[in-house]
Amino acid sequence: MIESTIAATRRQMLALGMLAAAGAIRAETQPKITMLINQSPWFDGFKKMIERYEKDTGNRIELDVTPFGGMLEKTRNSLRASAGTYDLVALNAMWMNEVYSGGFLQALDDIEPGYRLPANVLDFDQSVYWNDAKKSFDPSGRLLGVPVNGNVQVLYFRRDLYKEKGLKEPTTWAELEANAKVLHNPAGGVYGFGIRGDRGSATYDVAPFIYSHGGRIFKDERNGDYTVALSSAASLKGLETYIRLAREYGPPSPWAMSQDKLIQLMATGKVAHAVAVIAIWGALDDPKKSAVVGKFDAALLPRGEPGRHASAAGHWVAGIARNVPTERKRAAMAFLKWFVRQDVQVAYVQAGAVPVISGLGEAQFGKDDRYRFLEALSENSRNSVFYAPVKERVEINDLIGLKVNQALLGELSPKEALNQAAEGIFEIARKAGYKTGRGEIL
């Protein structure tokens, strides 16, 4: 009896020892890596995933959390150095083309041959694949990153006011305008519609209007035709719709409306509709930050007539630096593969962040009212457009932003704004050596 007890204890000790050894091996499977990430409304959710990854795998990830304004410089400094500081960098849609085209990232299938993104991971208008020969996104190009935040625009609307007035969710801009008209009551403290119009945001916010009406910036950049196509009847219709909604149903001075002001107005219940990024959802449903908890809903952005649905991609992609040691590249790859797992993405949403895979809205937890935005997120992600996918994107974004802002101000007519922006884009494309042309002028 005693012998059998001792034997059992020995076996238990042995098993415990083996488990401990396995744990030690697991804890040392990957070297510590460093990631550059931005301080943003979704960061807390991302941080929780890092903590979970460290707990699950024993691997360590050190985060350098940086305000948005400092991200680009830190990214450039690290990627351009002979030895990089960061193994993983979070790239915003605004500058991922510059980083891709500069050759600073290691293609993921170089690190793990044959690796493909799982089918349910959103690629946001193919923006994770880069074709160096075409100088553009291309699904047959190299896979350079994995999305870490699925930020796209959605239509926010006050479901309580919709119920009160018996309104239907709009599917076209004309329907949205009609609903905005019904709810527009500045004397009562509610504006029908809110959208950003300041110089820095105007291009991103006007893009769904232009693309949903059939307009675009270049004729066919994915196939190497950079003829400027911005100045067209379709773009004009889109721009006029944007200006009319912002001016007639929005708060005063829409040309000075920035993200923080729009969030303030939404959170204090002063706008009935808004076109804004999904990343601010958490703030609107947080009782500490919002007076309208549970009152907003999200929907697919309306389409033009004729036209399609379009939402501007404003997502973040994590890329692996070329200028870091191979074992750290492998460690970064291990994290990215873990990150896009379905169970991790569910936990990511529950932690208040924006997921990067589709289909979560149909999952059981997605039926919970707290996650009512998931369906709109998936639909808008499927309809996301990545305007001006070239390395000169920041310059083009600045230029269109200024001209649209001046059109909102009334300094330029919508036609003049599009013509001047198109002329400027042609000069940028010509200087950069693209196969380009002036295209139509209104």
Partner 1 sequence: MGRACAAMTVLRRNNLLWRWLSLAPLLALLIVFTVVPVAGLVWMSFHDRQWQSGIGVWRFVGLDHWREFTSNLYYWPGLRNTVVFAVCAVSLQMLLGFFMALSVSRAQGWLRGLLTTVFLLPVVVPPIVIGAMWKLLLGTEFGGVNAALALLGVPAIDWLGNPALALPSIILVDVWHWTPFVFILLLAGIEGLPQDALEAARLDTLSAWQSLRHIMLPLMAPTIAITLVFRIILTFKVFDEVYLLTSGGPGTATEVVSFSIQRTFFGRDDVGLGSVMSVFTLFVVALLAVLAIAASRRRRSD
Q: State yes or no: cis peptide before 254, omega within 30 of 0.
A: no
Contact predicate 317/35, CB 8 Å: no
Contact predicate 297/370, CB 8 Å: no
Task: Kindly give the pairing relationship between strand 129-131 and strand 153-158.
Answer: unpaired
The residue from 17, 102, 118, 139 that contacts partner 1 (CB under 8 A) is 102
Q: Is 370 in the site for partner 1 (CB under 8 A)?
A: no
Q: Is 265 in the site for partner 1 (CB under 8 A)?
A: yes
Q: Is 199 in the site for partner 1 (CB under 8 A)?
A: yes
Q: Is 399 in the site for partner 1 (CB under 8 A)?
A: yes
Q: Residue 264 contacts by C-beta under 8 Å, 6 or more apart in sequence?
A: none
Q: Is 200 in the site for partner 1 (CB under 8 A)?
A: yes
Q: State yes or no: cis peptide before 389, omega within 30 of 0.
A: no
- Shortest distance (Å) from residue 172 CB to partner 1: 30
Find the binding residues for partner 1 in span 58-77 (CB under 8 A).
72-73, 76
Nearest to 232 by CA among 396, 389, 398, 414: 414
Nearest to 297 by CA among 205, 184, 377: 377
Q: How far apart are the first and last CA of the chain?
A: 97
- Shortest distance (Å) from residue 291 CB to partner 1: 13
How many residues bind partner 1 (CB under 8 A)? The answer is 37
Q: Identify the residue whose tokens are 């460690």.
A: 331
Q: Is 325 in the site for partner 1 (CB under 8 A)?
A: no
Q: Is 414 in the site for partner 1 (CB under 8 A)?
A: no
> In this complex, which beta carbon is closest to partner 1, that of residue 104 or of residue 373?
104
Q: Is 12 in the site for partner 1 (CB under 8 A)?
A: no
The residue from 57, 172, 227, 323 that contacts partner 1 (CB under 8 A) is 323
**Measured between alpha carbons, how far is 429 from 228 in angstroms, rounded to an integer?**
9
Site string for partner 1, 19-58 (x = CB under 8 A): ----------------------------------------
- Shortest distance (Å) from residue 69 CB to partner 1: 8
**Measured between alpha carbons, how far is 380 from 313 in angstroms, rounded to an integer?**
9
> In this complex, which beta carbon is closest to partner 1, that of residue 332 or of residue 354?
332
Angle at the Cα of 92 (from 340 to 422), degrees rounded to 5? 130
Nearest to 211 by CA among 104, 125, 297: 125
- Shortest distance (Å) from residue 98 CB to partner 1: 7
Stretch that binds partner 1, among 43-51, 264-272, 300-308, 340-348 (CB under 8 A): 264-272
Stretch that binds partner 1, among 149-157, 178-186, 194-202, 333-341 (CB under 8 A): 194-202
Phi, psi of 301 (to 5 degrees): -60, 140
- Shortest distance (Å) from residue 197 CB to partner 1: 9
Q: Is 242 in the site for partner 1 (CB under 8 A)?
A: no
> In this complex, which beta carbon is closest to partner 1, that of residue 356 or of residue 404?
404
**Measured between alpha carbons, how far is 303 from 320 in angstroms, rounded to an integer?**
36
> In this complex, which beta carbon is closest to partner 1, that of residue 100 or of residue 173?
100
The residue from 35, 79, 144, 210 that contacts partner 1 (CB under 8 A) is 79
- Can you say whether the dihedral through the CA atoms of 87, 348, 124, 304 is positive or negative? negative
Residue 369: C-alpha distances to residues 297, 343, 349, 357, 366 (Å)? 10, 20, 13, 19, 8
> In this complex, which beta carbon is closest to partner 1, that of residue 57 or of residue 66?
66
- Shortest distance (Å) from residue 327 CB to partner 1: 20
Contact predicate 261/252, CB 8 Å: no
- Shortest distance (Å) from residue 101 CB to partner 1: 8
- Shortest distance (Å) from residue 407 CB to partner 1: 10
Q: Residue 201 contacts by C-beta under 8 Å, 6 or more apart in sequence?
A: 257, 258, 259, 401
The residue from 6, 20, 22, 103 that contacts partner 1 (CB under 8 A) is 103
Contact predicate 378/371, CB 8 Å: no
Q: Identify the residue whose tokens are 């993200």.
A: 259
Tokens of 93: 């849609």
The secondary element (H helix, E strand) that includes residue 293 is none
Q: Is 406 in the site for partner 1 (CB under 8 A)?
A: yes
Q: Is 109 in the site for partner 1 (CB under 8 A)?
A: no
Using CB under 8 A as the criterion, which residues of the chain lie in contact with partner 1 when the complex forms?
72-73, 76, 79-80, 98, 101-104, 198-200, 251-253, 255-256, 258, 261, 264-265, 270, 322-323, 392, 394-395, 398-399, 402, 405-406, 409, 411, 424, 431
